[in-house]
Structure 1
């Protein structure tokens, strides 16, 4: 099984409803039947649906692309490109076409959020017990020491290679690579002439075109205080959507709760009123990078950030001071 990230590292609280496909409503005569594919990848599952005049089954090709992405970006593959870079002391020359685009987007999100998203957080991720080794922490983490190994400015790269400014810098793309995988598959479908689709990997989703005659893709967002129960549903039209949260992927040790979302600026695990952040963007890599950053930034800072980014929308679930579940939806979502 591919292992870009473990099952719980990307939280499966975002449900694809596909409400109209199975409620007995007949397809229009002119519609081609929906092609539906599903499988396992990157420690989770994927579901892909598309309209294709040729009714092609592209699962074999899609699975091959996803394996290649793992061989580039997965820290769970010992000889992947990112694993080789993490073990190296100097320069790494890219072998596959996926490393550089993720670095470029990571640089953008790092810069735009003032470091709230930082893929060099790997030493902290491992120290808290959420890396590939899955060694659970049993005591205090030496945050001050580990923060010396965190900082995206400690890597330099161009379109062909990457090198470390400081020894022992290591990358972790688990906060952005799954969204990127969705985009790669979406673009693969478009090269095949398919322009009506839904691609979902581990809850990260991108759609294009209408689902059916007069139908749109409909998704649901889970209530984090009642897992398995949906908080709301929304239409997703020619857009991508990803979610970050810490209410599933955590563990307890010696009376302390360890959460997988870590603030790269302080080295601390996030303990806030925010429970989940769902981001809507033109593509999934953008949504995936910003969802973790917004979780770290918190509700008010995210609101201020969105004032200058009309291309992004968010749906944030958080608890009020009296413990009640509250929701914030940005303006662009209110008619969806």
Structure 2
């Protein structure tokens, strides 16, 4: 009897050692990186089968029993994962329990317009292109904003997502972020602001974003536009004209372009244009509601990223002649 017990104990030790060796042994993969997708509600046995179906050289039954015996089989999370060379059953289970999904990042840049956002979404790695077959109106309807133009309604930031996520989901997060920043900025508006709504704020902030060459000038630029709105003076800002030209803009803004009427030509129309012209960042939103106090009504680029501000047209014309001559030399 004692011999039998010894043999039994020895077998247990051997089995335990084999199990420790097996869970610590790298799983051979068919490629340096293998994608694994686990759907919500998948059972532990189904997960083990999914791992084997990736081409990983692992016994699905053994993997399932490892999940069970670990006591963590019910903690496995659905998601999109990457299995890298050298991964072991032990590391695999830890990854699935942590929900350590394969993440990608999309950067939406301050000052981008909607066309650029669409292009970035289309090029984003492992992002499902749901909007590729949708026009702008359909996109906004899918996001719960029917009848709203998409321009400017997405906050510029870095958005991470798991492989296989939908571009609409990323847009929805960016839209909520802009809603939150817009609401916060609107709550900080000055009592004498000429802006009548958060929509006005978004539009003015987008213009400030596009006109700002140096962050230190942002408040003054917002101050100039605020002053013009207060006295019903045309904003006369080139970025709005360029936006209204759309794909026709070839990089050169000509006098005839300034004299060609579009809803966004702020040389020919007073007030704000009908939509934003880009995605403003937080600093531009705050500048639009808390502009720097100034008597300036004009500004012109010095050609080095800074601007010269003037209170009178004569001073402005002198500055234009000075800096245009320098630029044309």
Q: Would you say same fold, with TM above 0.5?
A: no
**What TM-score does the superposition give when structure 2 sets the normalisation length?**
0.25
Please give the TM-score of this superposition, normalised by the length of structure 1: 0.25
Judging by fraction of residues, say which structure has more strand.
1
Instruction: From the CA coordinates, give the structure whose radius of gyration is larger.
Output: 2
RCO greater where, 1 or 2, for CA within 8 Å and sep 6 or more?
A: 1
